Amino acid sequence: MLSLKKYLTEGLLQFTILLSLIGVRVDVDTYLTSQLPPLREIILGPSSAYTQTQFHNLRNTLDGYGIHPKSIDLDNYFTARRLLSQVRALDRFQVPTTEVNAWLVHRDPEGSVSGSQPSSGLTLESSSGLQDVTGPDNGVRESETEQGFSEDLEDLGAVAPPVSGDLTKEDIDLIDILWRQDIDLGAGREIFDYSHRQKEQDVDKDLRDGAEQEDTWSGEGAEALARNLLVDGETGESFPAQFPADISSITEAVPSESEPPGLQNNLLSPLLTGTESPFDLEQQWQDLMSIMEMQAMEVNTSTNEILYNAPSGDPLSTNYSLAPNTPINQNVSLHQASLGGCSQDFSLFSPEAESLPVASGSTLLPLLPSNSTSLNSSFGSTNLAGLFFPPQLNGTANDTAGPELPDPLGGLLDEAMLDEISLMDLAIEEGFNPVQASQLEEEFDSDSGLSLDSSHSPSSLSSSEGSSSSSSSSSSSSSSSSSSSSSSASSSASSSFSEEGAVGYSSDSETLDLEEAEGAVGYQPEYSKFCRMSYQDPSQLSCLPYLEHVGHNHTYNMAPSALDSADLPPPSGLKKGSKEKQADFLDKQMSRDEHRARAMKIPFTNDKIINLPVEEFNELLSKYQLSEAQLSLIRDIRRRGKNKMAAQNCRKRKLDTILNLERDVEDLQRDKARLLREKVEFLRSLRQMKQKVQSLYQEVFGRLRDENGRPYSPSQYALQYAGDGSVLLIPRTLADQQARRQERKPKDRRK
DNA sequence: CAAACCTGTCATTCC
DNA sequence: TGGGAATGACAGGTT
């Protein structure tokens, strides 16, 4: 008992602390900025649930107060222990590895178009994007929460404009083109058919909804295994969809320290070096699949061939050549991919070649789009600098923009991921179903609201209202006689009005008993009238509006049967033995105060003593000639009765708070999973953007010619993007200086 | 029989 | 100031 209380108390305290910790450590807002207002609200909400007022608000506004978990079959589900274990599991760090492979299982079949919007907006160069930024755990969650992703992105105002739903004519054309190109590979048209896949998504979602709502997470492993095979849409080949990426991969992939300058690779930005080039087969397949999903396609043939065919030499890379051959809408992908923070990439454009001699005469060669037709063709409609650089960033923009790249990629992943991983583990552990996270949030609410839902049932409704209004019932009902209505906090939420009616009738029968006592105490006819008026007719009671809000257990001292028969004169037909037995039984049914009241010959029921409003109670006392002992007992009975109900309410409230907190925890977990998914997608998109920018850079640079018609040496010159949208060709040394300046600045800022 | 749980009661605080 | 709600703590009963 004591331990339980400690348990609850400690649990709540711990939970509060953990919530605050969540708010601090899981501050995704820092990198998603103002896009995520709900998180803070969610975080702040639960903590405020501890206040009484908040609690009442919760009870009044959320209709979640209804069911008493004890009352119905939700006991096991909504126990404080479960919540507390859940809470305590928050700080646990687990890295389940077996479910890693689920990452793309959902993604490919269902989310190809709508589910991967950010990716689709970023077009094809995702071969390196296969090295995803998430760790295994994230992959798991990602797969399980994939469905609601597009929705979530919309909520966040995410990177790419939503592709889903309405396809533009260009999109349809692209689909057609891709389909025609792919048809010889055995690709079905439906791969590109959004509506078709949407149906598939729906079906799939429905299936999984049903399955997952029933399934406990114990079966998740097998399920994950079952889903674990990716099926190639073209070949029908099944292969394990591993989620190979490591969190650190992206951070490793970003900087390139050892890139040898001079060759074609020299043009590659450091973003595309080292770790990204050795692709896993699975990664490439994943990319391929994602590519197939994308409708806004490729940028440039040569770029892609340079970027992807060259380093990998993988047979899969031939697939990538499909897209480049297509006439594409470059702008689509670029515009869709426009990300604010991409400017940082450019700081890395010219890091190598520090030792290279300064270029001769021309220090800055402004490359306006009009200067080159080829350049114009590729950049003409897409203002690269405008897209990727904030306007304030001109030639020195790299100073501020550049160094941010490692931070969001590395920092977020390294620091936040761990917390998130643990949280998501918790979510999975506790049966939280991230698959339906965002899309099925409502179902979840109703799910967790099973208790809430049942609050709409008559029984729980009465208890809900009773408890919520219990604080005001005394004042509101003080003007009336009544208060015999009881929804009873202790009647385990099942005390309906019938029970109240029973009380009312029992009161009526009490008056009979009372009449017997009249002689001794002095009968007041007014009181009899009063009692009958107040208690005789249950329907009368129900007509009194305030009675609907009275939540007290007016039968608190007696079982209804006891009330019914205790004060009744025993039926004359009963034998003496049974009478005695019944009396014993009733005696046992009566509470101590009942016994005391009876011993003291208190002329009215404990029910009245306890529940009458003060004025009426005092009036009642004044009508009787009561001894000091009787008065004292009556007041004690009243006090104890009030306190008993208060204790019941208090416990109920406490339990309710716990349940609300549990629900809040689930909500937080859900949001966290969603945010994590989004973060992963954002990072992936970011990387794809970098690749695209790099490819464009290569293309532009490769087409530049000096006065003699010779190409510029990448080791001596570098392109730089000005804030006004122009692209400048500057010597490497200059670019390196700027890059170094950028590297220094963030360090200073950190200090 | 012990532990967990439930319920009533008291003391206290606060409104 | 009194009434009462809220709640922690405790005790006794029940499972």
Both structure tokens of A259 = 């890139």
Nearest-CA neighbor of A699 among A304, A270, A352, A370? A304
CA of residue A21 relative to chain centroid, distance: 16
Judge contact between A524 and A537, C-beta under 8 A: no
Q: Which of A614, A633, A653 delimits the end of a domain?
A: A653
Alpha carbons A592 and A586: distance in angstroms, whole number: 12
Q: Which of A637, A653, A669 delimits the end of a domain?
A: A653
A238 is a domain residue: no
Query: What is the nearest nucleotide to A8, using C1' and CA?
Result: C8
- pLDDT in the model for residue A615: 85
Query: What is the nearest nucleotide to A591, using C1' and CA?
Result: B8
Per-residue pLDDT tens digits for A428-469: 333 333 333 333 333 333 333 333 333 333 333 333 333 333
Residue A111 CB lies within 7 Å of the nucleic strand B: no
Both structure tokens of A393 = 């960033």
Query: What is the nearest nucleotide to A594, using C1' and CA?
Result: B8
Nearest-CA neighbor of A265 among A321, A318, A310? A310
* B9 C1' closest Cα residue: A640
- pLDDT in the model for residue A653: 86
Query: Residue A739: which pLDDT band, with cuts at 50, 70 and 90?
Result: confident
Taking 70 as the threshold, does the pLDDT of residue A383 lie above it?
A: no
> What is the average per-residue pLDDT within A243-267?
36
Q: Which residue has the higher pLDDT, A421 or A665?
A: A665
Per-residue pLDDT tens digits for A589-623: 677 777 778 788 888 888 888 888 888 888 888 88
Rg (CA), chain A: 36
Considering only residues 408-427 of protein chain A, which place a Cβ less than 7 A from any atom of strand C? none
Contacts of A466 (CB under 8 A, 6+ apart): A473, A487, A488, A489, A549, A550, A551, A552
Q: How far is the CA of A643 from the C1' of C12 (A)?
A: 17
Q: How far is the CA of A322 from the C1' of B8 (A)?
A: 79
Considering only residues 527-566 of protein chain A, which place a Cβ less than 7 A from any atom of strand B? 556
> What is the average per-residue pLDDT within A157-184?
40
Residue A614 CB lies within 7 Å of the nucleic strand C: yes
A317 is a domain residue: no
> What is the average per-residue pLDDT within A169-191?
41
> What is the average per-residue pLDDT within A177-203?
37
Per-residue pLDDT tens digits for A35-80: 333 333 333 333 333 333 333 333 333 333 333 333 333 333 333 4
Q: Which nucleotides of C are covered by protein (CB under 7 A)?
A: 3-13
Question: Which range, A18-22, A219-223, A324-328, A491-495, has the best average confidence (pLDDT)?
Answer: A18-22
Residue A651 CB lies within 7 Å of the nucleic strand B: yes
Q: How far is the CA of A536 from the C1' of C5 (A)?
A: 29
Residue A56 CB lies within 7 Å of the nucleic strand B: no
Nearest-CA neighbor of A321 among A178, A151, A153? A178
Q: How far is the CA of A396 from the C1' of C1 (A)?
A: 75
> Residue written as tokens 């003593």?
A609
Strands A238-240 and A229-231: antiparallel
Q: How far is CA A302 from each of CA A84, A256, A319, A336, A710, rounded to the nearest angstrom?
A: 58, 23, 14, 22, 19
Contacts of A412 (CB under 8 A, 6+ apart): A31, A679, A683
Beta bridge partners of A229: A240
Residue A574 CB lies within 7 Å of the nucleic strand B: no
* C12 C1' closest Cα residue: A1
Amino acid identity for residue A369 in this structure: P
Query: Residue A714: which pLDDT band, with cuts at 50, 70 and 90?
Result: confident
Task: Report, in this order, helix, strand and coil percent for chain A, each rounded to 5.
Answer: 65, 5, 30
Alpha carbons A40 and A446: distance in angstroms, whole number: 23
Q: How far is the CA of A592 from the C1' of C11 (A)?
A: 15
A597 is a domain residue: yes
Residue A638 CB lies within 7 Å of the nucleic strand C: yes
- pLDDT in the model for residue A729: 86
* B5 C1' closest Cα residue: A1
Residue A645 CB lies within 7 Å of the nucleic strand C: yes
- pLDDT in the model for residue A578: 60
Cα angle A234-A239-A243, degrees, rounded to a multiple of 5: 115
Per-residue pLDDT tens digits for A476-493: 333 333 333 333 333 333
Q: How far is the CA of A508 from the C1' of C2 (A)?
A: 31
Q: Which of A634, A653, A672 delimits the end of a domain?
A: A653
- pLDDT in the model for residue A668: 94
Considering only residues 70-89 of protein chain A, which place a Cβ less than 7 A from any atom of strand B? 70, 81
A248 is a domain residue: no
- pLDDT in the model for residue A749: 52
Q: What's the whole-number average pLDDT of chain A?
A: 46
Residue A263 CB lies within 7 Å of the nucleic strand B: no
Structurally, chain A folds into a number of domains equal to 2
Residue A654 CB lies within 7 Å of the nucleic strand C: yes
Q: Which residue has the higher pLDDT, A365 or A525?
A: A365
> What is the average per-residue pLDDT within A679-697?
95
Taking 50 as the threshold, does the pLDDT of residue A740 lie above it?
A: yes
Residue A235 CB lies within 7 Å of the nucleic strand B: no
- Domain range for residue A603? 592-653
Q: Give per-residue burial for A420-452: e unless 16+ CB within 10 Å, then b.
A: bbbbbbbbbebbbbbbbbbbbbeebbebbbbbb
Dihedral of the alpha carbons of A470, A476, A481, A482, in degrees to the nearest 10: -40
Determine the straight-line distance between the first and last CA of chain A, rounded to whole angstroms: 53
CATH number of the domain that residue A636 is part of: 1.10.880.10
Residue A613 CB lies within 7 Å of the nucleic strand C: yes
Spatial strand order of the sheet with A717-721 comes to: A365-367, A727-731, A717-721
- pLDDT in the model for residue A577: 57
- For the packed helices A628-703 and A441-448, what is the interaxial angle rounded to 10 degrees? 160
* B3 C1' closest Cα residue: A1
Q: How far is the CA of A421 from the C1' of B4 (A)?
A: 34
> What is the average per-residue pLDDT within A648-660?
87
Strands A365-367 and A238-240: unpaired
A646 is a domain residue: yes
Amino acid identity for residue A230 in this structure: L
Helix (H, G, I), strand (E, B) or coil at A159: coil
Burial of A729 (0-12, 13-18, 19+ CB in 10 A): buried
Both structure tokens of A312 = 């990998």
Q: How far is the CA of A523 from the C1' of C1 (A)?
A: 33
Q: How far is CA A541 from each of CA A489, A498, A501, A536, rounded to the nearest angstrom?
A: 19, 11, 8, 9
- pLDDT in the model for residue A747: 52
Residue A649 CB lies within 7 Å of the nucleic strand B: no
Nearest-CA neighbor of A737 among A442, A439, A396? A396
A148 is a domain residue: no
Q: How far is the CA of A333 from the C1' of B14 (A)?
A: 63
Q: Which residue has the higher pLDDT, A732 or A278?
A: A732
Considering only residues 482-511 of protein chain A, which place a Cβ less than 7 A from any atom of strand B? 490, 492
Residue A319 CB lies within 7 Å of the nucleic strand B: no
Beta bridge partners of A46: none
Query: What is the nearest nucleotide to A640, using C1' and CA?
Result: B9
Percent of chain A predicted with pLDDT > 70: 21
A261 is a domain residue: no
Beta bridge partners of A366: A728
Taking 70 as the threshold, does the pLDDT of residue A643 lie above it?
A: yes
Residue A473 CB lies within 7 Å of the nucleic strand C: yes
Nearest-CA neighbor of A122 among A168, A175, A74, A161? A161
Residue A13 CB lies within 7 Å of the nucleic strand C: no
Per-residue pLDDT tens digits for A632-642: 888 888 989 89
Judge contact between A296 and A174, C-beta under 8 A: yes
Both structure tokens of A500 = 């109240």
Residue A554 CB lies within 7 Å of the nucleic strand C: no
Q: How far is the CA of A660 from the C1' of B14 (A)?
A: 25
Burial of A629 (0-12, 13-18, 19+ CB in 10 A): exposed
Q: How far is the CA of A12 from the C1' of B2 (A)?
A: 27
Q: Which nucleotides of B are covered by protein (CB under 7 A)?
A: 4-12
Residue A649 CB lies within 7 Å of the nucleic strand C: yes
Query: Residue A674: which pLDDT band, with cuts at 50, 70 and 90?
Result: very high
Q: How far is the CA of A642 from the C1' of C4 (A)?
A: 8
Both structure tokens of A106 = 């959902």
The two most distant CA atoms of chain A are separated, in Å, by: 128
Query: What is the nearest nucleotide to A615, using C1' and CA?
Result: C3
Residue A648 CB lies within 7 Å of the nucleic strand B: yes
A58 is a domain residue: no
Residue A639 CB lies within 7 Å of the nucleic strand B: yes
Question: Which range, A209-223, A550-564, A618-632, has the best average confidence (pLDDT)?
Answer: A618-632
Q: How far is CA A720 from each of CA A41, A240, A343, A381, A641, rounded to the nearest angstrom?
A: 42, 42, 11, 18, 81
Per-residue pLDDT tens digits for A17-45: 444 444 433 333 333 333 333 333 333 33
Residue A643 CB lies within 7 Å of the nucleic strand C: yes
Burial of A474 (0-12, 13-18, 19+ CB in 10 A): middle
